[in-house]
Chains A and B, each alone.
Chain A
Amino acid sequence: DGGITQSPKYLFRKEGQNVTLSCEQNLNHDAMYWYRQDPGQGLRLIYYSQIVNDFQKGDIAEGYSVSREKKESFPLTVTSAQKNPTAFYLCASSNRARYYEQYFGPGTRLTVT
């Protein structure tokens, strides 16, 4: 079955540690995205990538980094510079021909203490 996988579902880290969230898709989509969701708020775009080896900052990129070495993978690193890293992180992808239809993964809930 085609889809987007994010692992793990729940992640716990100590403050000051970097952590990398995984996102893999087998939909052969060109574009991939990372969103952050906080309680009672909508999704906010962190980074997106339209092709391999290229990515752009979204609205809240500070304290995050990404890479896009393979079409199917778009890992997100939450660095120690991110002031409030505890949140729900959603990865999405879209086809270049229908870029406006983004398909989302199940999300990773990150808790930093």
Chain B
Amino acid sequence: AQKVTQAQTEISVVEKEDVTLDCVYETRDTTYYLFWYKQPPSGELVFLIRRNSFDEQNEISGRYSWNFQKSTSSFNFTITASQVVDSAVYFCALSGPNTGFQKLVFGTGTRLLVSP
């Protein structure tokens, strides 16, 4: 079975602090995709990144960076120099052939509160 665990329910930081959101996944598939989505207070989910299981290279996009480690089944997300606009719920998700690539399995989300 596929499962995504986001153990951090809520994180509070002060603006300009760095923050890391943890994501641990379980799957028996050898080929799979991992995702991060952002859900601002408006409710709409915003796609942030997709990573396939064969690409363990870390990625950086502006203040965002992702650390994918197959050895620990983790796909952590770091925001550098956080801003108030980063306040949102962040979801990690997984898809694979076992349940169909179209079906995303989501974690329970981490609520990030960035105060000025």
Contacts and interface: CB of A to CB of B under 8 A. Distances in A.
Interface of A: 31, 33, 40-45, 48, 50, 58, 88, 90, 92, 94, 99-107, 109
A9 B88 CA distance: 19
Interface string B40-66: 001111110010000000000000000
A92 B102 CA distance: 11
Would you call the interface of chain A mostly helix, strand, loop, or mixed? strand
B33 A100 contact: yes
A106 B107 CA distance: 20
Contacts of A88: 43
Given A100-B35, A107-B43, 7 more contacts: A40-B108, A40-B109, A43-B104, A90-B45, A92-B45, A100-B50, A103-B47
Interface of B: 4, 9, 33, 35, 37, 42-47, 50, 91, 93, 95, 101-104, 106-109
Contacts of B43: 88, 90, 106-107, 109
Contact of A42 (B33, B102, B109): B109
15 contacts: A41-B108, A42-B4, A42-B106, A42-B109, A43-B104, A50-B102, A90-B44, A90-B45, A92-B45, A101-B47, A103-B47, A104-B46, A104-B47, A106-B43, A107-B43
B95 A106 contact: no
B7 to A, nearest CB: 13
A26 to B, nearest CB: 16
Given A40-B108, A41-B108, A99-B101, A106 B91 contact: no
Nearest to A103: B47
A103 B35 CA distance: 12
A60 to B, nearest CB: 12
A100 B108 contact: no
B44 A40 contact: no
A102 B108 CA distance: 18
- Tell which of A42, A99, A101, A107 has the most Cβ of chain B within 10 Å: A42
B32 to A, nearest CB: 10
B101 A100 contact: yes
